[in-house]
Amino acid sequence: MTTDKLTAVELFSGIGGFRLGLVGADIDTIWANDINKLCCQVYESNFGKNSITLGDINQISISEIPNHDILTAGFPCQPFSPAGKKLGVRDIVRGTLFERIVEILDQKQPQYFLLENVKRLLTMENGYHFRFILNALSELDYFIEWRLISPINFGIPQNRDRIFIFGTKLNYPDKTIPINLEKLSVFLTDNDGILSVNDDELKNDMSPIIEVKSKNYNWGIAYKNNMYTQHLPSLLDIKPRQRLKDILQDESIVDSQFYFTADTLERIKQSKPVNRYCNGVEILYNQDGGARLGYTIFGINGIASTLTASTSRHYERYKIGDNFRRLTNVEYARLMGFPDDWCRVTRIYDQYALFGNAIVPTCVEWVCNRIGKQNFKLSKSNWQQLSLAI
């Protein structure tokens, strides 16, 4: 039986956020890998036995990876995250796993790739780490585009900006290539008002990646070791926005293990009222009166702060009605866009880290549904057939 469906390979799969998003975009995942046994258990419980290969991707022969149309990878973010040691590409344990992605792309030559990482990757050490990654990818004959995307725009109330990097194989024989940006871009929309420069200005502004010293903005393109970047407005909402209180479980079914009411009432006697919002997160109390200092109590009228794998973050206090509790594992699932029972085969304690390390499936679905269907209209007619001399 033949099929027109795109096929995908998923690296650093975690609990399958990429795959779940690809299902929504009607793309078949034919091979997946992760080194974490618990992640693989969750993955198989949702996608079936033998749906994922457990092991170190550096120890798996590339010949074992089937040919595919799109490579996806949420490569380890800890080297770039504010919550980690921030060693970036110098992290010999995790940062250099990116090199394995490059090797697989080079040997397997899929038509597309989609990578995801933390927002900090754009700015760490004045953008050096991002440009290092961009330069390596741009040597492989892929037209590359990136953009910051937030689940807030998809009706998920969590402050979780992530950088998505999309590549399209071009294989042009010379260095001067005609690029129809309308057909290649998966991230630009009719509402972006793109761009504030004309053809000649863009040609002049395309710079060798290794020479760029300025800021990496929230959107940009790259090809053959050259790049252009510009700040764009946030995406318009794809789905109506929600607040944290909109996704909470009914209090009548929340188990007593999640509550800290008596302990918290004593602690807030020494805390200061804050009653303000920080990046959309409602903060009611903390010890020092600042935004996020000391013992903090959050409200539910804003959004949730970024979920992480950090154990301490799992026990943050939220004031819900007259009680104080942490968010439940089910609420973590909802804040990541997963079904309530996605991690049902694991302990509640472990589910927090699993969700905190995951990717939001609906963001992946939105990007992948646009592959091959790009038809937005540039705001200036002289951008409709764009030649980049690079």
What would the pLDDT profile of 231-259 be if each residue is shown by its tens digit? 988 899 999 999 999 999 999 999 999 99
Q: Say whether 77 is catalytic.
A: yes
pLDDT (0 to 100) of residue 117 = 93
Rounded to an integer, the average pLDDT of 177-200 is 67
The average confidence (pLDDT) of the chain is: 86
DSSP string, 200-215: HHHHHH-EEGGG--S-
Rounded to an integer, the average pLDDT of 159-183 is 78
210, pLDDT greater than 80: yes
The H or E element spanning position 335 is: helix 329-335
179, pLDDT greater than 80: no
Task: Determine the Cα–Cα distance for residues 23 and 26; give it in Å rounded to an integer.
Answer: 5
Q: Could you identify the residue written with the tokens 């004593």?
A: 266
Are 148 and 40 in the same domain? yes
Output the CA–CA distances (angstroms, integers) from residue 53 to 64, 109, 268, 299, in the order listed. 10, 21, 48, 41
- In a domain, residue 50? The reply is yes
The residue among 173 and 190 whose pLDDT is bigger is 190
Output the domain CATH number for residue 272.
3.90.120.10
Task: Determine the Cα–Cα distance for residues 13 and 25; give it in Å rounded to an integer.
Answer: 17
Rounded to an integer, the average pLDDT of 272-286 is 93
82, pLDDT greater than 60: no
17, pLDDT greater than 70: yes
3, pLDDT greater than 70: no
Are 130 and 279 in the same domain? no
**Sequence letter at residue 276:** R
Rounded to an integer, the average pLDDT of 317-335 is 96
Are 49 and 168 in the same domain? yes
Are 232 and 254 in the same domain? no
- In a domain, residue 384? The reply is no
Q: For 121-134, b where at least 16 C-beta lie within 10 A, e where not — what string?
A: bbebeebebbbbbb
Would you state the structure tokens that stand for residue 176, as one six-digit string?
A: 């001067």
Q: Could you identify the residue written with the tokens 């995942």?
A: 29
Contact 161, 149 (CB under 8 A): yes
Would you state the structure tokens that stand for residue 227, as one six-digit string?
A: 């790049």
Catalytic residue among 77, 343, 363, 368: 77
What domain range is 322 assigned to?
250-327
Task: Determine the Cα–Cα distance for residues 44 and 344; give it in Å rounded to an integer.
Answer: 12
Contact 59, 38 (CB under 8 A): no
Are 234 and 257 in the same domain? no
- Contact partners, residue 13, CB within 8 Å, separation at least 6: 19, 32, 33, 34, 39, 43, 52
- In a domain, residue 357? The reply is no
pLDDT (0 to 100) of residue 174 = 58
For 37, phi then psi, to 5°, come to: -65, -40
Are 234 and 268 in the same domain? no
Q: Pick the last residue of a domain from 309, 327, 345.
A: 327
Span between the terminal Cα atoms of the chain, in Å = 42
Residues in a beta bridge with 270:
none
Are 171 and 69 in the same domain? yes
Are 155 and 302 in the same domain? no
- In a domain, residue 244? The reply is no
pLDDT (0 to 100) of residue 194 = 57
Widest Cα–Cα separation across the chain? 70
- In a domain, residue 170? The reply is yes
Output the domain CATH number for residue 188.
3.40.50.150
- In a domain, residue 345? The reply is no
Would you state the structure tokens that stand for residue 58, as one six-digit string?
A: 């550096």
Are 261 and 225 in the same domain? no
218 band by pLDDT with thresholds 50, 70 and 90: very high
The total number of structural domains in the chain stands at 2
200, pLDDT greater than 60: no
Are 215 and 323 in the same domain? no
pTM for the complete prediction? 0.89
Are 38 and 114 in the same domain? yes
pLDDT (0 to 100) of residue 124 = 85
9, pLDDT greater than 50: yes
- In a domain, residue 340? The reply is no
pLDDT tens profile 24-60? 999 999 999 999 999 999 999 999 999 999 999 999 9
Are 24 and 83 in the same domain? yes
